[in-house]
Structure 1
Amino acid sequence: MFFKVSFIHLMISYVLVNGDFYVRHTHGRLDSSSDSSESVDDHKMLKKIEGIETKLTEMKKLLEAQNSSAEVFLSDCPNEWIRYHNSCYFFGKKDVEFREAEIICEGYEATLVNIGSELEYSFIKSQLQERKAPKHWIGLTDENVEGEWRLYPSGPLANFIIWGKAQPEQGRLANCVAIWETYEYKYVDEPCTNRNFRPLCERMARF
C-alpha cells in the first residue's frame, strides 16, 4: 500500500513537472508559429497529459483514503498473528483452561488480550466472526475482589466491559472472563478451570 502511494506520488510529480514544461513550451510555440496542424497536435497532446494527470490524482486520493482508513496491518507481527494499531493478536486453536491460556501467550512474549475500548472490541469481534471461532479467554478476572473486574495480568480496573445477556451470572464460582459466540461474542464469566475456551493473546507490534 505504501509503495503504491509513493509510486503514484512519483508518477504525478513527473506528469506535473513535465506537463507544466510541455504546456509552457507548447504555448510558446503556439504564439510564435502559424502552423495550424502543429497547434492541433500540441493541443491533443496537452489534453492527453491533463487526462493522465486527472486519473493519477484520482488514484492517489483513493489509495491514500484506503491507507488512512485501514486499521488492520499484517506486517511487524509474528506469523499467524494479525496487527491492529500497535498490537499483534493471536487467536489460539486449542481449548485450555484460563491459566494454560496465559502460559501459551507468555510463550509468545504476550499476554491474554486486555481489551481497552469499543473499537478494539469491535475489531476482535469481527476477527472471531470471520474465523468462526466461538470461544476465547481474555485477560479479565475478579479473583481478588468479587465483582471487581481487573485486567489480567496487568491489574488495573477495566474501563471497558461488554457483558452478554444475564452476565455475569455465576458469582464466586466463575472468576475468569471469555468471549462467547452464544452470547453474541460478548463477555461471560466462567470458572477459570473450564477447558472449553481458547487463548486470545496480545503483544506489542515491533517496528
Structure 2
Amino acid sequence: MSGMLRLVFALYLVCCVATQQNFNCYYEEKFLAKVYRLEYRVEMLEEKASKEDKDYKECMQCPDGWIQYKGSCYMIVEEKLSFDKARANCQKFNADLVHIDNADENTFIRNHLRTLKGIDFWIGLTDAATEGLFKWVDDNSRATFTDWYPSQPDNGGNREDCVHFKAIGNIQWNDRECYSTEKSICEKKIMF
C-alpha cells in the first residue's frame, strides 16, 4: 500500500473513533480495505507485466536472420572472407566477430554449426599482437575459456594468428593464417 493511502486509511480510523460514527466507519473501513486489496493487486500485476515485458524483449531484440541466445544475437555469415574482412563485415551490422565467454555459449554455437556440416567459421580471437596470448578483438580481453582442437594452437609455419571453428571431429578451435578465407559468426549484445 502506498504511503499516502495508508495515511488516508489511518485518518479515517481516527476520525471514526473520534466522532463515534460506528455505522459509517464500518462501511468506510470496508471501502478502504477493498481499495488496499485492489492497490496490492495492481502492484502485483505491474510487477508481472514488467517481467513478461523483459522476457518479451529478450525474445524480440534480434533482427531477422539472427539467432538469440542468453543476451546476444548471432549471425552466420556465408561469404568467405579473411579474418579482418570478416570482422569489418560484422561491424557493418553493429556487431563483431563472436566472443565466446564460456562452455555453454560454445556448446550452443557448436550445436548450431553441426547443422551446417563441414564448414569453418572465424571467431573473434587472435594472438596477432603477442604470439601465444589470445585476445578477443571486441574488447581486447584475454581468453579465459578456450576449446582447442587437439594439438592446437600450433602456430603452423609461424604465421597462424587467427582462430576459427574447425569443422571436423567435435568442431573445436584451431589457429589459422588470418588471410585465409572462411565463413564467420557475428555477435551483438541485446540492448534493453
Which residue of the other structure, out of 169, 179, 190, is the alignment partner of 1:193? 179
Aligned mates of 2:116, 2:191 — CA distance in 1: 24
Q: Are 2:134 and 1:134 equivalent residues in the alignment?
A: no
1:120 to 94, 102, 105: 105
Runs of 4+ in 1 over 6 A off after TM superposition: none
Unaligned regions of 5+ residues in structure 1, if any?
A: 1-72
Which structure 2 residue ranges, 5 or more long, are not aligned?
1-57
- Could you tell me how far apart the structure 1 residues matched to 2:180 and 2:155 are? 13
Question: Which residue of structure 1 aligns with residue 164 of structure 2?
Answer: 178
Q: Aligned letter for 2:88?
A: I
Deviation larger for 186-195 or 169-178:
169-178
In 2, Cα distance between equivalents of 1:85 and 1:112: 17
Partner SS for 1:179: strand
Deviation for aligned residue 1:133:
5.7
- The CA deviation at 1:132 is 2.7
How far did 1:206 drift? 3.3
Aligned residue in 1 for 2:10 = none
Shift of 1:128: 0.6
- Cross-structure match for 2:70: 85
Query: What is the RMSD computed on CA atoms of the aligned residues?
Result: 1.9
Tell me, in whole angstroms, the C-alpha distance in 1 between the residues paired with 2:155 and 2:131: 11
The letter of the residue matching 1:180 is K
Q: Are the equivalent residues in 1 in contact too, given 2:119–2:183 (CA < 8 A)?
A: no
Within 2, Cα distance between the matches of 1:183 and 1:149? 23
Q: Shift of residue 75 of structure 1?
A: 2.6
Residue 134 of structure 1 aligns to which amino acid in structure 2? Answer: I
1:167 & 1:183 partners in 2: Cα distance?
14
Matched position secondary structure for 1:164: coil
Aligned residues between the structures: 136
> What TM-score results when the alignment is normalised by the length of structure 2?
0.66
**TM-score when scaled to structure 1?**
0.62
Task: Say which SS state the counterpart of residue 115 (structure 2) adopts.
Answer: helix
| Residues 1-207 of structure 1 mapped to structure 2, 5 A cutoff | 75-132=60-117, 134-171=119-156, 172-195=158-181, 197-207=182-192
3-state SS in 1 of match to 2:188: strand
Cα 1:193–1:92 shift into 2, 3 Å? same
- TM-superposition CA deviations, 1:153-192 (whole Å, max 9, x none): 3111101011002111225310000001114210000000
Q: Which amino acid aligns with 1:95?
A: K
Separation of aligned partners in 2, 1:161 and 1:144: 18
- Counterpart of 1:189, as a letter, is D
Separation (CA, whole Å) in 2 of partners of 1:183 and 1:83? 26
